[in-house]
Chains A and B, each alone.
Chain A
Amino acid sequence: MDRQVYYFMNRAKKMRQDSLSVSLVKLFIGLVVALILVTTAFGAGYSAGVASAVARSAPAAAVQAAPTAAPAAPAIAPTAEGPTEPPRTSSPAPATPVAPTAPMPSATPTPAPRPSPAAVAGRDEDPVDEALIREVWGILQKQFYGDLPQGKEVTYNAIRGIVERLGDQHTAFVDPKSAALFNSDMEGSFEGIGAQVELAEGGGVRLRYLFPNQPAEKAGLRPGDVIIAVDGKDITKLSLLEAISLIRGPRDTRVVLTIRRGQEQPFDVTVTRARIEIPVVETKTLANGKIQYVALSEFSSIAPNRLADALNKALATRPTGLILDLRGNPGGLLDAAVRIGSYFVPDGPILIERTKDGSEKVYNRTGRYLLGSTPLVVLVDGGSASASEIVAGAIQDAGTGVLIGEKTFGKGSVQLPNTLSDGSQLRVTIAHWFTPKGRGIHGTGLEPDVKVSLTKEDAAANRDPQLDRAVQYLLEKK
């Protein structure tokens, strides 16, 4: 370009003597023509480029349409959430712990769906849908008065909008940042503030239970407190899993929690995270040694061995009866549930899992039968969920024990985490559980054989009518 202009100028100089005005005019015309030509050429090239790119991108998009979906994290952990591990597959039933001990999910990995021709075709079936989404998005980006959403927030919210329509609280979308945190958790560092939490109405995370002598309790937090911000970031619009991912973190690091407590002005509390150990099994002797009592607080990887030890000791005393307390136990690992179920069920399967296409997977006994002929009462309540319901249901079906207390939670579904192309995660409920006799657990829960409730007044007065009834049942055989 530069050279060309220079050339014209040289010529112009030489011609000056002949006829200055004519050559100037010629030069001018030459420049204008050259400019027009160059501009036109660039423009033509540009449009041709756009056209060819669009033509090429069509098939490219089709390829993208296929679910590239992620080899699912090999963590199907069809068990529960439990205080054991929050972000795991089966999502928070009654409560999710901020600081779980840390069993790795050990169940079978389910292969991720492969891109199939059907998936590619599926895209062409609903171009109208995408046109409407594009239209709405286009209008908003062009006209909306106010701050425009940043990054992929719009896409993520659209996905959340679809997931919400399923009406299943356990199927959830997790954005890449939160998903990354969960994955690091799965690699073994389960450290946090030491509390069981649940989603509060209107957003935020309510503390359900504080583990004694752990950071949250030591910092002066109380059950019922609602965390509304973490390190200054508002969490009231986040899902439970996303919120927990912010609260948790490596031990000895600090986190500033903004707490709403009743009508008080929200205030900040700084908590130093720690590694949280939860005692899994608690035992005691009742009725002058005639009754042995064993409580299990979660189905973690160490639970089967700890419980087996406790049972062996308890049963060695040849008690009149045994009480297994699963109240408030929100579940844990499926494998642990199957093994523990085997202790109390002499034969047959422990549970049946059914997927969308109707296929069944039967989980057979994997442990030794320990109970023998000792009469058994299982204590359950609305906080007994997931793995607890599997064990209680199997015992009820086998008739080796009776359930006393209140109706159980009713969480009997399996979630599979799928990592999506951009690192976000979709946790999909892929199966439901049924007791050996085919009774559904999900949504319904288990009805106790003997219904006994525990009122707030009872709890305040330290009374336990459910336990009293269990002792009476075992002593009087009714």
Chain B
Amino acid sequence: MQIRQSRYVIIFFALVVLLSATFWGGYLAGTWRASGAAERAADDLGLLRQVRELLKSRFVGDIPDDRAQLYGAIRGLVGSYKDPYTTFLEPAPRRLERDEIRGHFGGIGATLSRDASGALVLAVMRDRPAARAGVQDGDILLAVDGQPITADMPVRDVVDLIRGDEGTKVRLTLRRKGVAEPFDIVVVRERIEVPSVEWRVLGEDAIGYVKISIFGERTDQELQTGLNELAAQGVNRLVLDLRGNGGGLVETAVDVASRFLADGVVLYETRRGGQERFYAVKRVDSPAQRWPLAILVDASTASAAEIVAGALRDAGRGVLIGEKTYGKGSVQEVHELADGSSLHVTVARWLTPARHQIDKVGLTPDVPVNISAADREAGRDPQLVRAQEWLREKR
């Protein structure tokens, strides 16, 4: 018994020694790992700090403020990835982009353009806040909320100043022909909607026309309304115009494709590491699921618009008419950053349901039709004409 007990004591001490040795082993491993990582990060950003300090203390010209330097650094950093779609957007352009995707924003209902002299000229929309507050077409914008508009300011920056939350006020300083002194007008911002879908019936052949200009948050809703309205007017075949559509949200592309497809796959997506996932057609109620489709595409049909065009063609749902598409076969994830800027990161490649890789290749139309400069001047649209012909033959 004595012996046994002393054995247990030995075992116990041996265990204690073993465990503490292991603990310290782990401790050292952890220290080594963490300090290595910390040093690397400190070193990388340390170099950046060194540069900033040097510039601050020595550079003879004006030093851009911290924010501008920060954005410069991030732009440079993002550029290292050498991908045109992996980009950094500063807060102002980010807000405009977000407004576009949302399809609405808080604004005054006016458009801005620069005239030959560089002045910013307003044109107002009927019954919108600007017009109701007394702003007139041709008024020249001098300042927004007291901030003067300079000639080198990009128009989109001025637009960003004018936009804001619905219900808030913006003070415009204007100059008007025939009025001696500049004056102020205060406008209350309202929700301004920008439709992404327009539709109409073409002629008497029961052919409908739908143009989608961007794949935003409200696009699918608008499309549903449009298709139902066209169906109610007896439409049973459709021209889907995706020309000039630069894309938008992938989810919306899936929703839109699902309005014309009964089942199957809209696109495949491959991420880093090679995992593949697919986006299935959603089961939705839509009058257009059997309508013959003529899809108009051109060189600026890109991204989400190419997803829809590719999915519809691979499923045999329609023909592509027009010109070769842009060829953007990558998917970006958009990260909203803490200060209101955003980061677009290319995270995946996508393939059409028949696994066509379209990046830098584009979709080749089934029926190639060009629009010449002369056509444009004369207001002719041979691509649309050809689409109607094709749909008529389809009867």
Contact = CB atoms under 8 A, between A and B. Distances in A.
B77 A154 contact: yes
B43 A64 contact: yes
Interface in A3-58: 4, 7, 34, 37-38, 41-54, 56-57
A139 B86 CA distance: 11
A165 B69 contact: yes
Given A4-B14, A143-B345, A47 B272 contact: no
Nearest to A129: B70
A173 B45 CA distance: 15
Interface in B334-381: 335, 337-339, 341, 343, 345-349
A147 B81 CA distance: 7
A316 interface: no
A219 to B, nearest CB: 32
Contacts of B24: 45
Contacts of A145: 271-272, 330, 346-349
Interface stretch (B60-68, B127-135, B248-256): B60-68
A164 B27 contact: no
B185 interface: no
A50 B44 contact: no
A464 interface: no
A155 B44 contact: yes
A420 B50 contact: yes
Interface of B: 11, 14-15, 18-20, 22-35, 38-39, 41-61, 63-64, 66, 68-83, 86, 88, 271-272, 330, 333, 335, 337-339, 341, 343, 345-349
A135 interface: yes
A288 to B, nearest CB: 49
A113 B50 CA distance: 10
B63 A140 contact: no
7 contacts: A49-B27, A49-B29, A53-B31, A53-B34, A128-B338, A132-B337, A167-B61
Contact of B42 (A64, A171, A413, A418): A64
DSSP class of B's interface residues: helix, strand, loop or mixed? helix
Interface in A99-151: 113, 119, 122-123, 126, 128-137, 139-140, 143-149
A357 B15 CA distance: 68
A139 B78 CA distance: 11
Contacts of B26: 41-46, 48-49
User: Interface size for chain A: under 10, 10 to 19, 20 to 34, or 35 or more residues?
Assistant: 35 or more
Nearest to B272: A145
B50 A166 contact: no
Nearest to B7: A11
A42 B42 contact: no
A458 to B, nearest CB: 36
Given A155-B45, A421-B43, 19 more contacts: A4-B18, A48-B23, A49-B32, A57-B42, A60-B39, A64-B46, A65-B49, A128-B338, A130-B45, A134-B45, A145-B330, A146-B83, A153-B80, A154-B80, A157-B80, A162-B76, A166-B61, A166-B63, A430-B59
A320 B388 CA distance: 87
B23 A41 contact: yes
Contact of B58 (A50, A113, A153, A413): A113
A314 to B, nearest CB: 38
A438 interface: no
